[in-house]
Amino acid sequence: MRRPDRPPRPARRFRLAPRRLVVLLPAWAWLALFVAAPALVLLGIALGEYDTGVPPFRPPLGPGGAWQGTLANFAAVATDPFYRDGFLRSLLVAFATAALCLLVGYPMALAMARAPEARRTPLLLAVLLPFWTGFLIRVGAWIGLLRDEGWLNGVLRALGVIGEPLPLLYSDLAMYVGMVHAYLPFAVLPLYAALARRDPAVEEAAADLGARPAVVFVTVTLPLSAPGAAAAFLLVFIPAAGEFVIPDLLGPPEAQLVGRMLWGEFFQNRDWPLAAALAVALLAVLILPVRLFQRLEAGR
Amino acid sequence: MSAARAGLWLGLGFLYLPIVLLVAYAFSADRIPFQWGGFSLRWFVALAGDERLIEAALLSLRVAAGAATLAVLVGGLAGFALARFGPFRGRALFGALIGAPLVLPEVVTGLSLLLLFVALEGAIGWPAGRGALTVLLAHATLGAAYAAVVIQARLAEADRSLEEAAMDLGATPFVAFRTVTLPLMAPSLLAAWLLAFTLSLDDVVLASFVSGPAGTTLPMVLFSRLKLGLTPEVNALGAVIVAVAAVALGLAALLLARVDARRGGG
């Protein structure tokens, strides 16, 4: 209960204003310096030109603010089939990875949501634990499993299934296995959250009215979990589209993806403006899925 | 439906097979990883003598601790503002900026931060060169995004009337913050710190972009070694990391269970 001699609310909010600044000012300063400024610098250097100096580019604004920028980097990214194919392939890989994660993750999330209350937290931790064991370590384990003299080929040979080792590592197969392994927890969590919230009474009602379990699943459970499934798909798709490490360590050496092209332009060719243009293009491609994801999150 | 349960166990098997094998074969004497050559601790001994790896690990731990602390400070301020300030001017932009590193591809964040550091050095001479400090700042930027989400979520579910009651009883806003809000936030501050710490320890992409010759972190060493394939030493290191993660998560689970039990009992 508010005492009558307390100032009314709007007055207090006004009184707090300087205190708000103590919170807001450092936060704004940080965000301006480390989030907004880098984006602007990135865009600026994408408009610059490759040069053999240190740093290896000519900025778009010359001495005295004279414009000397160029759209050549963006033109190269948009028209050169090498980059275009890289973008298409990256989106395909991201799409396939997200679809595979849904396929593998959905039954896992469903079984977790249907498990007795006491077993849910341990199961959730079990799905999360691999996430905490080090990303590179897990990729390294797949190298040990899949390479020519690796564990899987050893087992297959011992069983007499194959005579010569299968070339499993440095292939699309190895890349997808590594991608799904790394991103699966991202898919399981939102799926589990969506399925755990569902009301079992709706499914029971459908069953009581004579629907077979498969029909209940397709007509009730699946539609109810659709927003969660969409969130899970995007949560995998967005980072997977720019993924660099897994294709580089497990995938075929010749496969060019955006993350790899950007990395190569930057570290091998030292063409910073082109790398920046690739980054801006990747952002432009991902804006739609990112907005979609934010919509879904806001709608919950 | 038991099909879903079969899927759960298959999925968990897929998640754990490489990890279990990695730990098991860390104790193999064979030179080739994932080949059994009898029980041996030789690769753990080799690991302990690998100065380059140890040095990188110590640097990574220092960078991660600094980045996590900075991330909790920034993320705490941002999360507090988003949870408690209502609709303030520029709120939409503020939220978009703090969350941006969550949705940006790592290669984009890494490249743009590097270009910023280069531009800053050219303009004002800071940060001079690139190394541990620039990696720390990059990791803090990423960590702050996660920290803000965790802290905001905690504050949003904590009852605001407690703080108002304290102020109605005469506490200044600062005292109310220190004695009511801060204790309410404390678990989320710890969770955010641990999350940012882990993210930093695990990151190779941001670090590769913004680091210099003097700032080689553990994931950077691991990455360059894995380019040549898996070595038994890296295998042993993996076993150590898995053991540490399992113990840490086990402790966290135990703590959670005790808190739950106390809540249920009280």
Out of B12, B112, B226, closest to residue A39 by CB: B112
For the segment A231-254, the average pLDDT, to the nearest whole number, is 94
Cα gap B130→B210, rounded to integer Å: 7
Minimal-distance CA residue of chain B relative to A100:
B11
pLDDT in tens, A149-188: 889 999 999 998 888 899 999 999 999 999 999 999 999 9
Give the number of C-alpha atoms closer than 13 A to the C-alpha of residue B214, restricted to the C-beta side: 7
pLDDT in tens, A255-269: 899 999 999 999 999
Q: What is the pLDDT of residue B1?
A: 53
Token code pair at residue B167: 């102020």
User: How many angstroms away from the CA of B10 is the closest CA of chain A?
Assistant: 9
Minimal-distance CA residue of chain B relative to A155:
B35
Kindly tell me if the per-residue pLDDT of B264 is higher than 70: no
CA dihedral of residues A68, A71, A76, A79 (deg, nearest 10): -150
Whether residue B174 lies within 8 A of chain A, CB to CB, comes out as yes
Q: Which of B72, B115, B117, B223 should be substituted to probe chain A, the one whose Cβ sees the most A Cβ atoms within 10 Å?
A: B115
Kindly tell me if the per-residue pLDDT of A16 is higher than 60: no
Cα gap A260→A282, rounded to integer Å: 12
pLDDT in tens, B193-245: 999 999 999 999 999 999 988 899 999 999 999 999 899 999 999 999 999 98
Answer positive or negative: Cα dihedral of A30, A33, A34, A39.
Answer: positive
> What is the per-residue burial (b if ≥16 Cβ within 10 Å, else e) of A120-142?
eeebbebbebbbbbbbbbbbbbb
Q: Which of A21, A43, A133, A267 should be substituted to probe chain B, the one whose Cβ sees the most B Cβ atoms within 10 Å?
A: A133
pLDDT in tens, B154-201: 998 887 888 888 889 988 888 888 888 888 888 899 989 999 999 999
Kindly tell me if the per-residue pLDDT of B13 is higher than 90: yes
Q: Which amino acid type is present at position A174? A: A
Out of B104, B205, B226, closest to residue A139 by CB: B226
Measured between beta carbons, which residues in chain B are less than 8 angstroms from residue A242?
105-108
CB contact under 8 A, B112 and A279: yes
The pLDDT-based confidence of A83 (bands split at 50, 70, 90) is very high
CB contact under 8 A, B15 and A181: yes
The number of beta carbons lying within 10 Å of the beta carbon of residue A290 is 18
The mean predicted confidence, pLDDT, of chain B is: 91
Q: What is the pLDDT of residue B118?
A: 92
Whether residue B259 lies within 8 A of chain A, CB to CB, comes out as no
CB contact under 8 A, B227 and A244: no
For the segment A72-91, the average pLDDT, to the nearest whole number, is 94
Out of B81, B103, B107, closest to residue A24 by CB: B81
The answer to whether the CB of A104 falls within 8 A of the CB of A180 is yes
Q: What is the pLDDT of residue A73?
A: 93
Token code pair at residue A212: 């077979």
Cα gap A135→A145, rounded to integer Å: 16
pLDDT in tens, B48-85: 999 999 999 999 999 999 999 999 999 999 999 999 88
The ipTM, to two decimals, is 0.91
Cα gap B14→A103, rounded to integer Å: 13
Token code pair at residue A211: 């629907």
Q: What are phi and psi of A58, to 5 degrees?
A: -105, 120
User: How many angstroms away from the CA of B189 is the closest CA of chain A?
Assistant: 16
Minimal-distance CA residue of chain A relative to B70:
A30
CB contact under 8 A, A279 and B209: no
Measured between beta carbons, which residues in chain B are less than 8 angstroms from residue A180?
14
Q: Identify which has the larger pLDDT, A3 or B173.
A: B173
Q: Where are the alpha helices (DSSP H) in chain B?
A: 2-25, 42-48, 51-84, 91-103, 106-124, 132-157, 161-168, 173-176, 182-202, 205-210, 218-226, 232-265
Q: Which residue has the tokens 């690769």?
A: B43
Q: Identify which has the larger pLDDT, B103 or A95.
A: A95
The answer to whether the CB of B218 falls within 8 A of the CB of B132 is no
Cα gap A97→B97, rounded to integer Å: 28
Report CA-CA distances (Å) from B5 to A109, A123, B10: 9, 12, 9
User: How many angstroms away from the CA of B62 is the closest CA of chain A?
Assistant: 17
* Residues above pLDDT 90, as percent of chain B: 66
Kindly tell me if the per-residue pLDDT of B151 is higher than 70: yes
Q: What is the pLDDT of residue B76?
A: 96
Residues 195-254, chain B, touching A (beta carbon < 8 A) = 198, 201-202, 204-205, 208-209, 219, 222-223, 226-227, 229-230, 234-235, 237-238, 241-242, 245-246, 248-249, 253
Query: What's the predicted TM-score (pTM) here?
Result: 0.91
The mean predicted confidence, pLDDT, of chain A is: 89
A58 sits in which H/E element: strand A57-58
Measured between beta carbons, which residues in chain A are less than 8 angstroms from residue B245?
129, 132-134
The answer to whether the CB of B208 falls within 8 A of the CB of B110 is yes
Measured between beta carbons, which residues in chain A are less than 8 angstroms from residue B19?
130, 133, 138, 141
For the segment A197-213, the average pLDDT, to the nearest whole number, is 88
User: How many angstroms away from the CA of B181 is the closest CA of chain A?
Assistant: 14
Least confident of A10-14, A277-281, B180-184, B205-209: A10-14
Cα gap A62→A74, rounded to integer Å: 20
Q: What is the pLDDT of residue B56?
A: 96
Kindly tell me if the per-residue pLDDT of A100 is higher than 90: yes
For the segment B95-99, the average pLDDT, to the nearest whole number, is 93
Out of B32, B108, B174, closest to residue A242 by CB: B108
Termini Cα distance of chain B: 37
Out of A140, A213, A239, closest to residue B1 by CB: A213
Kindly tell me if the per-residue pLDDT of A254 is higher than 70: yes
Q: Is B106 exposed, middle or buried (0-12, 13-18, 19+ CB in 10 A)?
A: buried
